């Protein structure tokens, strides 16, 4: 075990899409655990869209990462030293240790995972934040009913691919949008989507929704925002439920984009739009992990991962994910 800890820190705040120069690779000593603490050697790091928001100076849904601070993020690794009564050397744990090779923790935000049930990377994806986001954010807010039509934007992302499968488990018709023909084919052939369209080439979204959701939209799980959401709003059925998981089309803008005012659509269709952060259901995570794990074992939920090797490639992995170049849940392996 090396006694140096490599860390990716925030070197500068991007305007628009981040670049590798926004990050610095620095070294520091591996920390020693104090009483009630443990140290984890990270073996897998998640990169996720929300991290883009943390790079801005202004408050988003949590505080920004300070310049010079380690980038935040979810990770899985093994305990290598412990003075914490609940964690022993060799335990496999999930924790928000961020973009570094060793993390120090007092137990806050951490939980043990079973490395024999699924590979570590799964606890960053289908059995981690994206899986829990799909499970709670779709089922609790959209409350899908058999026969409902569900539309998912950003459907080929780590969360969207799972939402479609949850919709099928609940007897819905499910349609998605994604940014390449290959992703659309993946949604239909592997994720059980009934239909999908490429939003970059099929740009009349209202017409496309009319074609693929001929009975209107009952549930909308939105990762993207912008013009696709506009089109869904004018395609709603009465009492539709919209779960706002992300607004990735808006994250890299210098200032808020203008769009047509469409609140009237919620009024005339008596529909509900609700934003959420998965942490709201923190106390129910064990339920979500157990149920998603069972569906994975039963073959009802499939997942795809896009794993890049090497901690030094964290910024690269993050940026390609923001550009939509990943195929499945993007993570980095030590």
Q: Which ranges constitute the DSSP H helices of 14-170?
A: 50-54, 129-142, 160-169
Q: Which residues contact 286 (CB under 8 A, 6 or more apart)?
A: none
- Spatial CA neighbour of 141 closest among 310, 327, 273, 281: 273
User: Whole-number minimum distance, CB 214 to a copy of itself, in Å?
Assistant: 17
Note whether 168 binds a copy of itself by CB under 8 A.
no
Note whether 259 binds a copy of itself by CB under 8 A.
yes
Residue (248 or 301) nearer to a copy of itself, CB: 248
Note whether 256 binds a copy of itself by CB under 8 A.
yes
Measured in Å, how far apart are the chain's first and last C-alpha atoms? 13
Candidate residues 222, 293, 296, 317; the one interacting with a copy of itself per rule CB under 8 A:
222
Q: How many residues bind a copy of itself (CB under 8 A)?
A: 34
Note whether 276 binds a copy of itself by CB under 8 A.
yes
Q: Which residues contact 261 (CB under 8 A, 6 or more apart)?
A: none
Candidate residues 1, 268, 298, 299; the one interacting with a copy of itself per rule CB under 8 A:
268
Note whether 246 binds a copy of itself by CB under 8 A.
yes
- Give kind and range of the element (H or E) at residue 29: strand 23-29
- Give kind and range of the element (H or E) at residue 240: strand 236-244
Candidate residues 22, 165, 235, 247; the one interacting with a copy of itself per rule CB under 8 A:
247
Whether the CB-CB separation of 92 and 76 falls below 8 Å is answered with yes
Note whether 258 binds a copy of itself by CB under 8 A.
yes
Residue (106 or 230) nearer to a copy of itself, CB: 230
Whether the CB-CB separation of 232 and 222 falls below 8 Å is answered with yes
| Buried residues in 119-134 as b, exposed as e (16+ CB within 10 A) | bbbbbbbbbbbbbbbb
CB count within 10 Å of CB 329 equals 28
Pick the piece of the chain touching a copy of itself (CB under 8 A) from 3-11, 239-247, 291-299, 315-323. Answer: 239-247
User: Whole-number minimum distance, CB 279 to a copy of itself, in Å?
Assistant: 9
| Buried residues in 8-21 as b, exposed as e (16+ CB within 10 A) | bbbeeebeeebeee
Note whether 226 binds a copy of itself by CB under 8 A.
yes
- Spatial CA neighbour of 143 closest among 171, 123, 120: 171
Note whether 229 binds a copy of itself by CB under 8 A.
yes
Pick the piece of the chain touching a copy of itself (CB under 8 A) from 187-195, 219-227, 285-293, 307-315. Answer: 219-227
Candidate residues 65, 134, 163, 273; the one interacting with a copy of itself per rule CB under 8 A:
273
Note whether 277 binds a copy of itself by CB under 8 A.
yes
Residue (13 or 297) nearer to a copy of itself, CB: 13
Residues numbered 57-86 forming contacts with a copy of itself, rule: CB under 8 A:
60-61
Note whether 90 binds a copy of itself by CB under 8 A.
no
Give me the residues that bind a copy of itself (CB under 8 A), please: 60-61, 222, 225-226, 229, 244-247, 250, 256-277, 280
């Amino acid at each position: 075990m090396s006694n140096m800890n490599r860390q990716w820190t925030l070197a500068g705040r991007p305007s628009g899409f981040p670049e590798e120069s926004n990050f610095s690779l620095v070294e520091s000593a591996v920390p020693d655990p104090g009483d009630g603490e443990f140290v984890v050697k990270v073996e897998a790091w998640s990169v996720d869209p929300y991290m883009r928001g943390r790079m801005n100076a202004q408050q988003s849904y949590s505080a920004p990462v300070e310049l010079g601070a380690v980038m935040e993020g979810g990770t899985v690794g093994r305990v290598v030293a412990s003075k914490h009564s609940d964690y022993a050397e060799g335990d496999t744990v999930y924790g928000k240790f961020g973009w570094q090779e060793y993390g120090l923790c007092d137990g806050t935000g951490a939980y043990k995972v079973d490395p024999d049930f699924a590979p570590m990377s799964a606890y960053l994806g289908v059995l981690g934040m994206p899986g829990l986001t799909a499970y709670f954010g779709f089922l609790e807010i959209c409350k899908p009913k058999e026969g409902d039509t569900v539309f998912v934007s950003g459907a080929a992302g780590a969360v969207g691919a799972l939402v479609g499968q949850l919709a099928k488990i609940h007897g819905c018709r499910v349609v998605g949008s994604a940014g390449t023909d290959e992703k659309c084919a993946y949604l239909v052939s592997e994720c059980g989507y009934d239909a999908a369209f490429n939003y970059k080439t099929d740009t009349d979204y209202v017409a496309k929704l009319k074609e693929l959701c001929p009975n209107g939209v009952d549930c909308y799980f939105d990762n993207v925002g912008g013009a696709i959401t506009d089109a869904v709003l004018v395609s709603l059925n009465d009492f539709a439920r919209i779960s706002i998981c992300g607004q990735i089309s808006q994250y890299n803008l210098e200032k808020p984009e203008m769009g047509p005012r469409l609140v009237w659509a919620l009024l005339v269709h008596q529909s509900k739009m609700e934003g959420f952060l998965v942490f709201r259901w923190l106390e129910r995570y064990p339920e979500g992990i157990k149920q998603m794990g069972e569906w994975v074992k039963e073959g009802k939920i499939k997942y795809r991962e896009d794993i890049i090797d090497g901690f030094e490639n964290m910024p690269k992995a993050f940026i390609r994910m923001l550009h939509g170049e990943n195929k499945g849940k993007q993570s980095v392996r030590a």
